[in-house]
Amino acid sequence: MFDRMLGFRTIQRQVEEKLIQLSFIPSKYFEALYVESSTKITCHTCDICEVEEVTVRAELLKLMKQGEVDTKVELEKFQLFERINSVSVKSKEIRTLMNKYVDELKKENYDSLVKFLKESAYAGKMMHHSVKGLYDSYDVALERVEELIAVCNKIIGNLVSFRYYDQDDDGVLDYSFEEPEVLIGNSLRGTLQNMIFVGEKVAHIVKTFSFNHKAIEIDEEKPQEEAEEEITEKEKTKTKKI
Amino acid sequence: MVETLTIVLGIISVLLAFAIGANDETFASVVGVKRLSVRTAVIMGAVIAIIGAFLLSEKVGTTLRDDISKDLFVGADQTAILISIYVAMAISLILASVFGLPISSTEALVGAIIGLSLAKGYEINWGMQGMGKILLTWTISPIIGFTISFLIMKFVNRILGKTVTSFRKHDKANNIFGVLLLGMVVWTGLSRAGNDINNAIAPIVPLFELSGDFTFWTSGYWFERLPLLIGGIGLGLGLIIIGWRVLKTLGNDVVELTPESAFVTQGSTALIVFLAVIIGIPVSGTMVLVSAFIGAGVGMKKPINLKTLRMIAIFIVLTPVISGICAIGCFYAIRGFF
């Protein structure tokens, strides 16, 4: 009861530390993945990142449970945690798919994919800086969020080449969901989209809790769940067509 | 007959203390910012009510009764009139508390006195020494509460805008305001219990009076304070059994509170009541607190739950009427017995 009354200051500091730590993992992971795919030698940093991510996530969950998530601040922190977590989960998928389909990828596609991984590592770094900035300075956080969204959108825009047209029985051209490039491209797109969601959450937190940033404009019209549902719907429709 | 009357007065005292405790909204702001759960808040509030009532109450305070109707308290049926007033107050407070709505106990008292005066055909003093002053109190209390709270909230927002520039500082500010808020609420709870208990225990105080002066270390001193303890327990029970509804409504349903706005709400209420006592302006603590909630909410540009607010306003208007009707009904039901 006394912890609750005094606002769990110690727990809050630990949560802050762990959230920043967790947000750093995707950039490290992408860097390692970039090294792994460019050299085609297994990079153990990826494994370390995966283990670290699981450990930090568990510790953070435990801390958040101790802090009893029921105030608005705690809820926002928990939602931010969930969004960072979804970035990590989705990025693991890329590695699995790359390991599975490495031999099936065309060389030029593989090379551009490696380039995208390098750019994604930079996007991950921006995501980390935006989360860190949230705790250091709202202005810095917003600058990083803008940069993060711009970088992610640029990569997503370039990923268009990873959509493959396929002809179905009726002769209609549509996307193929069987091509390894498309599968990997979709995972990467999902990861970047999740990074944007983290950035939007950071901006939302700034807007909600800052006394000077009430008028900032953020794209909150599409919350993560809605956007994810939309993507799933589109995918379902396309799969039906195929 | 004397023994029956003693028992009746004892029961009524505890009932009224229970009703006052059930409508105690002091801890609402702490519940609103989730610093305490409703359960912890009512338990803590109950302990504070008992301590405050037992230790901080000095004597039985004067009431408004003579200001409203002089004839009512000098004629026949005095015991029945007093019992009716207490029962009517208790019913009004408990009824409002069951709906989770905070009302002023003074309103219930005034409603009962007016109701009985009208029923018995006595004159009511509508001048500035009587009802005029009370109506003025009810009018200015919400206005002062809203204005002061709104202005302080704006001032606090400006200061926080310059100092709280990151989430880390926000966490820190929340903690500071949370601790200050809790301290303020505990203090308000203690002083409020000390004041409110007087009305409730008035009927049983004579039963515990001993002849002679007693010092702090004598048993006589503590025996004379026993009514305060009984009343304090009544307050605490009221808060635990029904009071949580009021805390929940005011804390969660009127406006979304943050630690700083809750602090402003509580602080401006304490400031207004304190200044009003010094200047000599009568104000209603409940009305000031409710309006301070709204003032802080508007100051923060948070949406106000108009549905809950409308319910509170309706009950504030209806309380004197309900109390008056209850008092009249009770009086005619029991006057044959006393």
Residues A137-160 have a mean pLDDT of: 91
pLDDT of A131 > 90? The answer is yes
Closest by CA position to B105, among listed B12, B29, B21, B231? B21
A2 touches chain B (CB under 8 A): no
Report for A16-20, A208-212, B10-14: range of highest mean pLDDT: A16-20
A209 touches chain B (CB under 8 A): yes
Contact A7 B36 (CB under 8 A): no
Residue in the structure block whose two tokens are 């104000």: B283
Q: B87: which residues sit within 8 A by CB, 6+ positions away?
A: B12, B15, B326, B327, B330
Contact B33 A71 (CB under 8 A): yes
Adjacent-strand bridge partners of A165: A175
- At residue A177, the pLDDT reads 65
pLDDT grade for A206, boundaries at 50, 70 and 90: very high
Distance CA B75, CA B120 (A): 10
Which residue among B33, B161, B171 places its CB closest to the CB of A212? B161
Contact A210 B164 (CB under 8 A): yes
- pTM for this model (two decimals): 0.74
Tell me: the pLDDT tens digits for A29-48?
999 999 988 888 888 888 89
Q: Give percent of chain A with pLDDT exceeding 70.
A: 75
Contact B36 A4 (CB under 8 A): yes
ipTM higher than threshold 0.85: no
Closest by CA position to B285, among listed B275, B297, B299, B296? B275
Tell me: the pLDDT tens digits for A217-242?
555 444 445 555 554 555 555 444 44
Residues of chain B under the 70 pLDDT cut: 1-2, 56-67, 199, 203, 280-282, 338
- At residue A232, the pLDDT reads 56
Q: Give percent of chain B with pLDDT exceeding 90.
A: 14
pLDDT of A151 > 70? The answer is yes
Which residue among A5, A12, A211 places its CB closest to the CB of B160? A211
B302 touches chain A (CB under 8 A): no
Q: Looking at B125-249, list the stretches that DSSP marks H as alpha helix, in order from N- to C-terminal side.
A: 131-163, 167-201, 219-224, 226-238, 244-248
CA angle B233, B238, B243 (to 5 degrees): 140
Which residue among B33, B166, B175 places its CB closest to the CB of A9? B175
Distance CA B135, CA B282 (A): 10
- At residue A219, the pLDDT reads 52
B43 touches chain A (CB under 8 A): no
Tell me: the pLDDT tens digits for A176-191?
667 788 888 888 999 9
Distance CA B6, CA B28 (A): 35
Tell me: the pLDDT tens digits for A107-129?
888 888 889 999 999 999 999 99
Q: Which CATH superfamily is domain A2-241 in?
A: Phosphate transport system protein phou homolog 2; domain 2 (1.20.58.220)
- At residue B130, the pLDDT reads 79
- At residue A166, the pLDDT reads 57
Contact A211 B157 (CB under 8 A): yes
The alpha-carbon gap from A198 to the nearest alpha carbon of chain B, in Å, equals 15
